[in-house]
Amino acid sequence: MHILTIVGARPQFVKAAVVSRAIEAYNRDAGARLITETIVHTGQHYDYNMSDVFFDEMEIPKPAVNLSIGSGKHGEMTGAMLAAIEREMIDRKPDITLVYGDTNSTMAGALAAAKLHIPVAHVEAGLRSFNRTMPEEINRVVTDHVSSILFCPSDASAKQLAAEGVTSGVHVVGDVMYDAALHYGGKAAVVKPEAPFALCTIHRAENTDDLGRLGGILEGLAKSPVQVILALHPRTKAVAEKSGVKWPANVRVCEPFSYFNMLGYLKACSFVITDSGGLQKEAYFFGRKCITVRNETEWTELVESGANRLAGTDPERIISAMGWAMNDSAAVPDSIYGNGKAGEKIVDIIKDFK
Ligand code: UD1
């Protein structure tokens, strides 16, 4: 069995690391290379601390090729990826294509494969924000509807697929990011803060491309009861520099963290404020409350379970959510996202796919 894995953006490296490790373990147990994996990196993320550091830390097999597509307008970026991925697929003739999450790289990989009649397996299927202005929502819907195998992180995502008429090839396997948190948790950087702090990331287009929304978030951050450590995404950095955004005095701005650093900061923080999808779950994995500065989230289970609060970008709502995050001690259910064996389950299903 030959699997072609498409990655390109930061969160995909973390997810792919889990499945690559499970493939290696499967081959080791079988005493033969029954599954070959070829990794194709689109180049969507290209800075060392957005890409290479994840391959180094998590010991992800080196991509066979980096397509160096880089940034651009959405159509331009996706179109360039589509053409380049198609060429790779024609040359490499995989039996199956594996894509992760909801980025432009995900959708380009899925579409290129579907057009060549190569079955697509989508890890993190069935997630919906119901906000079609988000590029990620379009990527999710398109990817799910051209996939033959749909790996759902939770029951809610499988239900959503059923509501859209997608019932064949759907498997609830848990969340590979939970596997990653468990496996790499012991390698977290040691972070010893002098004082309590909140861990923050902001990068969604809806927040960075609208200065009103970004301003609302910063106004909220300025009133944080504890210092804010902001791991700054290049998109947000570029917007801030261009528009002369002034960071509040209590916000310490850092370069993007490596995965092990992020785990260290998660373990050490008082709570998380973010618009990232992945970090919402990681906060939960490490027992930290999360304030999501968006109007909706695809990880609805987290909100329902009391682990996450949606605050939008209104400073008052953010400030009130900070009070909740500091003081709320209500128990939150565990194992919403499986038992840490999602990677193994995925390999087990893929290996039998005909
Ligand atoms: C992308 C994904 C988003 C995911 C996020 C994780 C899409 C539509 N969005 O958003 O779902 O949550 O990755 O980070 O695919 N840039 C750099 N250096 C890099 C990478 C990006 O400077 O290493 C710059 C780009 O040039 C661009 C901006 O950051 O100007 C945004 O990059 P892009 O990949 O388009 O989207 P993200 O915001 O990272």
Q: Alpha-carbon distance 351 to 214, whole Å? A: 45
Dump pLDDT digits (tens) for 199-235: 999 999 999 999 999 999 999 999 999 999 999 999 9
Q: Say if ligand 1 is within 6 A of residue 234 CB.
A: yes
- Ligand 1 atom with the smallest distance to the CA of 203 is 38
DSSP 8-state symbol, 297:
-
The SS3 call for residue 298 is coil
**Rounded to whole angstroms, what are the CA distances from 116 to 31, 112, 195, 266?**
32, 7, 55, 42
* pLDDT value at residue 337: 95
152 phi and psi angles, rounded to 5 deg: -95, 140
pLDDT band at 335 (very low <50, low <70, confident <90, very high): confident
Dump pLDDT digits (tens) for 297-309: 999 999 999 999 9
pLDDT > 70: what percent of the chain? 100
Dump pLDDT digits (tens) for 251-291: 999 999 999 999 999 999 999 999 999 999 999 999 999 99
Q: Alpha-carbon distance 288 to 97, whole Å? A: 35
* pLDDT value at residue 354: 84
DSSP 8-state symbol, 309:
E
- Report residue 252 as tokens: 């310490």
Residue 280 host element (H or E): helix 277-285
Q: Hey, what's the torsion of the CAs at 228, 306, 205, 57, to 10 degrees?
A: 70
**Which residue's CA is minimally distant from atom 19 of ligand 1?**
45
Q: Which of 15, 54, 71, 298 to mutate to test the pocket of ligand 1 (most atoms within 8 A of CB)?
A: 71
* HEC assignment per residue over 127-184: CCCCCCCCHHHHHHHHHHHCCCEEEECCHHHHHHHHHCCCCCCEEECCCHHHHHHHHH
284 phi and psi angles, rounded to 5 deg: -65, -45
The SS3 call for residue 5 is strand
**Which residue's CA is minimally distant from atom 11 of ligand 1?**
103
Q: Alpha-carbon distance 280 to 287, whole Å? A: 11
Residue with tokens 């490296």: 13
List the catalytic residue out of 45, 122, 203, 233: 203
Residue in 166, 229, 165 with CA at minimum distance from that of residue 197: 229
Q: Say if ligand 1 is within 6 A of residue 50 CB.
A: yes
224 phi and psi angles, rounded to 5 deg: -60, 140
Q: Say if ligand 1 is within 6 A of residue 155 CB.
A: no
Q: How far is the CA of 182 from the centre of ligand 1 (A)?
A: 26
Q: Say if ligand 1 is within 6 A of residue 137 CB.
A: no
* pLDDT value at residue 91: 98
Q: Alpha-carbon distance 156 to 60, whole Å? A: 30
Q: Alpha-carbon distance 8 to 353, whole Å? A: 25
* pLDDT value at residue 304: 95
Residue 209 host element (H or E): none
pLDDT band at 334 (very low <50, low <70, confident <90, very high): confident
* pLDDT value at residue 140: 98
Interval 148-167 mean pLDDT: 97
- Report residue 210 as tokens: 């609208």
**Which residue's CA is minimally distant from atom 20 of ligand 1?**
45
Prediction pTM value: 0.97
Residue with tokens 């992945």: 278
Confirm whether 203 is a catalytic residue: yes
Domains of the chain, first to last: 2-175+338-351 (3.40.50.2000), 187-327 (3.40.50.2000)
Rg (alpha carbons) of the chain, rounded to whole number: 20
**Which residue's CA is minimally distant from atom 30 of ligand 1?**
235
pLDDT band at 42 (very low <50, low <70, confident <90, very high): very high
- Ligand 1 atom with the smallest distance to the CA of 205 is 38
Q: How far is the CA of 204 from the centre of ligand 1 (A)?
A: 9
**Which residue's CA is minimally distant from atom 22 of ligand 1?**
234
Q: How far is the CA of 12 from the centre of ligand 1 (A)?
A: 12
Q: Work out the number of other CB atoms within 10 angstroms of the CB of residue 280.
A: 22
* pLDDT value at residue 350: 97
Q: How far is the CA of 52 from the centre of ligand 1 (A)?
A: 15
- Report residue 192 as tokens: 């010893």
Q: How far is the CA of 254 from the centre of ligand 1 (A)?
A: 17
First-to-last CA distance in the chain?
Answer: 10
DSSP H helices, 10-121, are 10-30, 52-58, 74-92, 104-115
Q: Which of 53, 73, 233 to mutate to test the pocket of ligand 1 (most atoms within 8 A of CB)?
A: 233
